[in-house]
Amino acid sequence: MKVLPFIYNSPKEYWNYFQPTNWLEFVLGEINPLYSVSTAKAKVVAIRSESTDTKTIVLQTNRHWKGFRAGQHVPVTVEIAGRRVTRYYSLSSSPSAKNPTITVKRQKGGLVSNFLNDRLQVGDVLELGPASGEFTADPAALPDKLLFIAGGSGITPIHSILETLAESNYKGQAKLLYFSRFKEDIIFFQSFAELEANNPWLEIKHVLTDVPAPGYDSGFLTTELMDKFVPDLKERLVYLCGPAPLQTSAKEFLKDNHVISELFLLPNQIQTNYQSNGPVEVVLLQSHKTVLLKGEKSILEELEDQGIYPPSGCRMGICHTCTCRKTSGSVTNIKDETMSDSGEGNIQLCLSRVDEKLELDL
């Protein structure tokens, strides 16, 4: 006899199937994909290429979108192969833009970044969460001298900030040092050319790290480069955004500066393969399931390998979307190798590796 799967749910979960809000949400979505009781949604109105592997997505938001501050990121939820997946992307337009934009660089093996670059079309609808992040700038409160250092897709929030400064008629002096692999890899190339031409307070230097090209500096961050481009470095407030190697190198030069930084650490840059002593039993309390995890990858990845998809976002420990209550058992943080105690507490599934029998509120 076929058994309805929801009879195994708790009373609270069972009742959710019959909530009026859920039915109204469904009906509104059938009338217009942007309609919602409370969810921020955005219709894709344009898509433009920014580099060989990066696209900017122009959005028309519904009334539930609360806006953002320049430099913030936003959780974007899409449905891929029948399941909802969330990732965080930086907003690249100024907050005052009629149509906010996100800019997405394709990542090797990146489920959502590849979906957005390859399959997203004008007219599709995305679900948005509240914007967040402290890598922000208030034009009225900024000093007269600024330095922005970015690498790769770390330029995205900085583009938003520079657009905002241009709109606010910033009266100071700002310099941007932007590292890309090769000329065609430069994100916002045309936009930056226009910003620099129209704003005498802005000076931009592109540096190519992999393939030199005429008219461009090449190489990496060096004392010679810094001395030449920013001889008054110690007088500047610095915004730094990019991958870990760039941040490590830059901070050697910035010991005497006030630095506002955001680390773009991709999931494939976090070590996720470890030696294990064997499978560990993990009890999922809400799902009424018990699974065996090897402890060789993050709990999030190992659950997904078994067809279980907890809520997740950035997958790098920033957004806390995958935070889960652990009722018993210990885990190891895969970034700093610290081990939790065996008692109750919250863990981030994307940064935790199972050590012993575990009970999770999932």
Residue 25 has what pLDDT?
A: 67
Tens-place pLDDT, residues 270-311: 444 455 667 899 999 998 999 999 888 899 989 988 889 888
Encode pLDDT of 332-358 as tens digits. 888 777 888 888 889 999 989 998 899
Q: How far apart are CA 274 and CA 16, in angstroms?
A: 39
Instruction: Give the chain's domains with CATH numbers.
Output: 5-128 (2.40.30.10), 139-265 (3.40.50.80), 280-360 (3.10.20.30)
- What pLDDT was estimated at residue 130? 94
- Start-to-end C-alpha separation, the chain: 27
Q: How many CB atoms are closer than 10 A to CB 19?
A: 10
Let me know the angle formed at the C-alpha of 309 by 303 and 310, rounded to the nearest 5 degrees: 95
* Count of all residues that appear for the chain in the document: 362
In this predicted structure, the answer to whether residue 18 has a pLDDT above a threshold of 60 is: no
The Cα–Cα gap between 315 and 84 comes to: 15
Share of the chain above pLDDT 70, in %: 88
Q: Are 308 and 324 in contact (CB under 8 A)?
A: no
In this prediction, residue 44 carries a pLDDT of: 98
Between 27 and 110, the more confident residue is: 110
Over residues 226-247, the mean pLDDT reads 94
Alpha helices by DSSP H, 210-360? 223-229, 244-253, 299-305
Residue 208 pLDDT > 60, yes or no?
Answer: yes
